[in-house]
Each structure stands twice: as structure tokens, then as C-alpha cells.
Amino acid sequence: HDLKNACILSGLPESIIAAACARSGQRVLHVDSRNYYGGNWASFSFSGLLSWIKENQQNTDIKDESEDWRKLILENEEVISLNKKDKTIQHVEAFCFGDQDAAEDVEEAGALARVPAAGTSVAEEVAEEAEKECSPLESSVPGAENWESEKASSTDPASAEEGNITEINSENESSHNTASGESALELGKPEATLSEVSAQEPKKITYSQIVREGRRFNIDLVSKLLYSRGLLIELLIKSNVSRYAEFKNATRILAFREGKVEQVPCSRADVFNSRQLAMVEKRMLMKFLTFCLEYEQHPDEYQDYKNSTFAQFLKTRKLTPSLQHFILHSIAMVSENDCNTLEGLQATRKFLQCLGRYGNTPFLFPLYGQGEIPQCFCRMCAVFGGIYCLRHSVQCLVVDKESGRCKAVVDHFGQRISASYFIVEDSYLSESVCVNVCYRQLSRAVLITDQSVLKTDSEQQVSILTVPPVDLGQPAVCVIELCSSTMTCMKDTYLVHLTCPSTKTAREDLEPVVQKLFSLNAETEKETEGEELEKPRVLWAVYFNMRDSSGIDRNSYSGLPSNVYVCSGPDSALGNDCAVKQAETIFQEMFPTEEFCPAPPNPEDIIYDEDEITAEETGFNNSPETKPESSLQESSSRGSTGVKEHIEE
């Protein structure tokens, strides 16, 4: 098949590149060996995550059943083999702490029959019952059982419903702010607002309830938030991809200090309304934050501390210890030991500049999970003619010996597909290509809990908390807590993500923080009068390490053709700037004269030729692509369905 100008494989950066290429008129083929979109950026239902856990706990390698595809390789060509199995996930451990009632016969409500993945039998795809015996590793955790798999079902991430796009003013979330003339993002409305304080004990959630309501969960493999003035938000607005998703404000910035979780005042109104700070501290904080916004105009105030850490610089600013803690860990969100003064000032200014655009915090979270973002760009690519093939593995890259350029790929059907450019995620490259690459690792944990880490009048809170390291040299842990109105968990539960750079296995890195914030006991003791409220109880948890391939120089890969571009997986940063920068850089290298992800034309502005044969001969017919665009404008709900079906087909 000599059809494609660009061949894309998996991930958020790749999805952005695919959308940009299709929008500029290139013909795009996007293939993925997995049966879901997004790679390590994906979101899963609960049963889908259990299937993912089982898959990554198996160490068996996939062997080639047939070598017939090698007959397609000519004498003047050589091959670069690609990995058949994803090796970016390690040390996967899952535990059930909730009431372990009889869940064997419980089925997920509304679950569809699983579609067998390519190269596997139906029998291998059938879900197994959860194992009941604890392994020796779990014996140190009271009340914990290791669950390797449970009722595996399809892992298709849920897609967001669409609606009118609105920009929320910081003073009133229901008001519209369109004076700036920017395209605005839609903030999702919560399912319900609970006004009364829940003084009663939390409802008892059993494991069978979690399994039954598994499709209510959209569990991200990577936990991130979107800075309201970050590169990804600007790209969503510019390209009009924001129409495919809804967003919710992160409502609280929390801090962990002296063994307690407390809310951090961020905006001017929060600072002056705060009861945690004395009047003198409020003035100190506002004075310092004002300086951070304009620090470049006052170089004399930080010039002598350029080589010092940001923590040391804060001590010279006459700030109280509590203010230094808030600024370092909850506003700048930087390392106490590794961040210099300039980096700390830049991080603080970025935080402050993002305040007030869509709410009282700088962050947005996509409804239905982070996995919606790659799918949004996939939809845009599909609207402009991109072709998507899931469960479609690629055997190798075919390289011309004379020119050193990649000419084609060979898929698992033995088909040879030629293209001009190839974009490959790092995880597809074999060990021989990555022999000189040094990878970092991320430690990840996902918890399902029964209460928030900080109870307030409203239970529908999206919170971010940075837990500082106990020992020097250890990384801080970023904690993101999601409520049910984010469409990521069932009612009366919370979904908690923990992330930090790895020093050991994920469980060794993160379990001490989990024990500080949550109760791991299966049976919680009833509180006595006058005592503080008990810690939130963990119902279920999974720990895993994920490869961080960001920041790797292209020259580190051995024997890579010049027209093959490598995209990294998720990085450790809270935002998505790295993925957007990488996508734009690669696109500009391929097509330096093209604009990166311009807004699609309005349907009213499109001029149709009387004879559509010309368009068909060029291989890029406008009529089928513009129909979904038109339906999106006329009816957002119809547009969502149409584009989704286009991709899934």
C-alpha cells in the first residue's frame, strides 16, 4: 500500500501530531497494537484496569508465529524490529482493602462482550476470578489481598459529551467571560452539589459494588492537571479541539504540614478570607506574590541567590515557616533541594498567571479522565481523513540501505505500508536501538477511597496536595483527589492518584504517604466523642512503576533513520507542556511551512465544488469530513456520537 504521508503509533504527542498532519492535508494512518487509544495516557473502567493489571503482571513474551513477512524485504533493504510487548510498566501490585464479599458472580453493569485482541484466542481473553490467597508480599499490609484480575472487559475509554463552550470567571463560575475574544473551554457541571455536611459515617462500599459500578470509573494511568494558561489549553482553544471535551475546575490546593491536611489560600480573596494566616502573614504573602509576578523587573532582589535553592531564597524574604511551606510545596510545587531560585520564581509566576482564568485555582481537569485528551485529537484527525487501526501491531520498520531513510512498515498481516514520515512511541523501539538510552521511572498509585482527605461542606471537590519528603534526597509526592462529579468514580467514593519520581518500587516509594493520609484497615474503628474524624479508608489500591522517556536526546537512539521520529511517554511534570512542545517540534521538522493545528474552517465558510470527482482523485474528499463538522455546530451531542463512531469503526 503506497498511500500514506505519515504513519503514527500511539500516545498523546502522537495523537496531536496526527491531528496536525491531517488538518494540514496530509494522509495519516494511526495504528496501535493495543485495543484502546492513548497508550500510557489512557483511562480505563475498573474491569478494564483489572485486565490491564493482569496483562502487565504476565512476563511472557509474544513470539512471531510466522516469518512470512520477511519475504517482503528486498536485497537493498534492512529492517529495524519493533517490540511486540510493552515493557514500560513494572512492579504492578493490586490490593483490596474493602469488604471482600462474594464478588465472583458479580458482573459489571452495562459491560459489553470483550473483543479479542490481535493474535490471542478467545479463551485467553476470558476474565478469571479474583485470587483469594494472599502472597507473602502482602502479609505486612493488614487486611490486604492481592487481586491480579477480576471480570476483565473491554477497555474502551468513555468519551466526553459535548455542549456549549464557556469560559468561567474567577468570581462567578456560572458567568461568561468572552471579552478577551478567546475561544473558551467548557467546564463540566457537577452531578449534584451536596450542601449539607456529611456528619454521618461514610457509606460502606463493598468490593462487589465497585465491580458492579465499574463503568462509573475512568481511571487514568498517568495523573495530570491542565494549567489554565498552559500550552495544552492554548492548543485546545486554537485548534477548536476543546469542543470534544468538558472540563472541571480543580477546586482546592491543599498542603500537608505537621501531620495535618489544610487548604492553601491562592487568590487575593482567599488570602484575605483565610483564618489560617495572621494579618501580618497575609501582607507578607501578598507582597511576595506580587514580587514573583514582576520578578524580572527587580533582578537586584534575587541576583545574589541565583545559585541558591529556592528554599534558601525564601528564608531571606522574611516569610514565616508556614508561608515558606505553602509557597514551596503548594504554589511553586518544586523540590526543596533540586530547584534553584530562578526556577522557583518561574514556577510561582506560572501558578499566579493561571489564577482566575477559569476559577480560583490554576488548574482544570477533563471530565472522564486524562485519557479523553488523546481521543479528542484522534477525533480531529479522523474528521480530516485520518485512518485508525487498533489491535494492529507492526513487525518492523523497512530501511533503504543506500539513503538510510525508512521506506515502509510491515504489519502483523504481512502487509507493507509505505510512507514518507514515521512517528513511533519510545516503547515500540527494541533494546538494540535503545542500548545507549538511560530511562527514568515514575512511581504511581491509584486508590479508591470512601472519604476526602479534607472534609468540607461540599463533597464534590477536586483537590491537589503535595506531600513533602520525609528524608533528604527523597522526592515529594503529588496527590490528586477526584470526586464523582469528574465522571471518574462511582458515587460516595473518591479516586486518588499519587505520583513521584521513582527511587525504589512504586509501593516502597508511595505506601508511607498512603499510610499517613489514609487508613488501610479493612475494619475501621468507630470514633469516640471528642476525637477527630477518622482518616479516609482505602477500599482498593494499585501500585506500579512507569517508564519516563521524556528529555532523551535523539542521538541516544542507535541507527535511527532521519525520517523516523520518536515520541516519549508521560513525564513527571504536573502539566502537559512537554508533550505539546514535542509534538509541535516534530511537526515543524516534517512540514516547516505548515501552520501547527490551525482552527478548522466554519462549515458556513466552506465552498463546495460542483464536481466532487476532483476531490476524490486527490484522495482527500472534503464532503465526508465536513459533515461531522457541520453536525458538531448544529448539535453537539450528535457531533460527539458521529465522530466517535468514525474513530471506532
All structural domains of the chain with their residue ranges: 5-86+368-437+552-590
| Structure confidence by residue, pLDDT tens digits, 188-203 | 444 444 444 444 555 7
**Spatial CB neighbours of 199, under 8 Å, sequence gap ≥ 6:** none
Among 14-23, 102-111, 434-443, the range scoring the smallest mean pLDDT is 102-111
Among 134-143, 210-219, 360-369, the range scoring the smallest mean pLDDT is 134-143
Q: Give the model's pLDDT for residue 86.
A: 84
Q: Give the model's pLDDT for residue 533.
A: 54
Among 63-72, 330-339, 525-534, the range scoring the smallest mean pLDDT is 525-534
Give me the mean pLDDT over the 16-45 stretch: 92
Give me the mean pLDDT over the 617-632 stretch: 40
Q: Give the model's pLDDT for residue 129.
A: 39
Q: Give the model's pLDDT for residue 126.
A: 33
Is 118 a residue whose pLDDT tops 70? no
HEC string of 116-139 equals CCCCCCHHHHCCCCCCCCCCHHHH
Of the candidates 309, 611, 349, the one whose C-alpha atom is nearest the C-alpha of residue 472 is 309
Among 250-254, 411-415, 538-542, the range scoring the smallest mean pLDDT is 411-415
Q: Give the model's pLDDT for residue 547.
A: 94
Is 338 a residue whose pLDDT tops 70? yes
User: Judging by DSSP bridges, how do beta strands 363-366 and 440-449 pair with one another?
Assistant: unpaired
Residue 62 CA to residue 55 CA, distance in Å, equals: 12
Is 486 a residue whose pLDDT tops 90? yes
Residue 15 CA to residue 582 CA, distance in Å, equals: 12
Give me the mean pLDDT over the 586-615 stretch: 76
| Structure confidence by residue, pLDDT tens digits, 434-479 | 888 899 999 999 999 999 999 887 888 999 999 998 777 788 999 9
Is 211 a residue whose pLDDT tops 80? yes
What DSSP string runs through 15-78?
A: HHHHHHHHHTT--EEEE-SSSSSSGGG-EE-HHHHHHHHHHHH--PPPPPS--GGGGG--TTEE
More confident residue, 555 or 14: 14
Is 220 a residue whose pLDDT tops 70? yes
Distances (CA, A) of 214 to 132, 416, 422, 489: 20, 40, 37, 8
**437 exposure class (CB count in 10 Å sphere: 0-12, 13-18, 19+):** middle
Q: Give the model's pLDDT for residue 68.
A: 67
Is 392 a residue whose pLDDT tops 50? yes
| Structure confidence by residue, pLDDT tens digits, 487-500 | 999 999 999 999 99
Give me the mean pLDDT over the 8-22 stretch: 89
Residue 566 CA to residue 409 CA, distance in Å, equals: 15
Q: Give the model's pLDDT for residue 177.
A: 40
Q: Give the model's pLDDT for residue 478.
A: 95
Q: Give the model's pLDDT for residue 62.
A: 60
More confident residue, 348 or 456: 348
Cβ-count burial 95-133 (b if 16+ within 10 Å, e if not): bbbbebeebeebebeebeebeebbeeeeeebebeebeee
Q: Give the model's pLDDT for residue 558.
A: 87
All three cell numbers of 323 = 508561608
Give me the mean pLDDT over the 554-576 stretch: 91
| Structure confidence by residue, pLDDT tens digits, 279-301 | 888 889 899 999 999 999 988 88
Fold of 5-86+368-437+552-590: FAD/NAD(P)-binding domain (3.50.50)
Q: Give the model's pLDDT for residue 353.
A: 93
| Structure confidence by residue, pLDDT tens digits, 354-377 | 998 998 889 999 999 999 999 999
Of the candidates 190, 201, 611, 570, the one whose C-alpha atom is nearest the C-alpha of residue 373 is 570
Q: How confident is the model at residue 551 (pLDDT cuts 50, 70, 90)?
A: confident
Give 331's DSSP letter. I
Residue 53 CA to residue 550 CA, distance in Å, equals: 24
More confident residue, 122 or 305: 305
Is 162 a residue whose pLDDT tops 80? no
Q: Give the model's pLDDT for residue 374.
A: 95
Is 187 a residue whose pLDDT tops 60? no
Q: How confident is the model at residue 605 (pLDDT cuts 50, 70, 90)?
A: low
Mean pLDDT, the chain, integer? 78
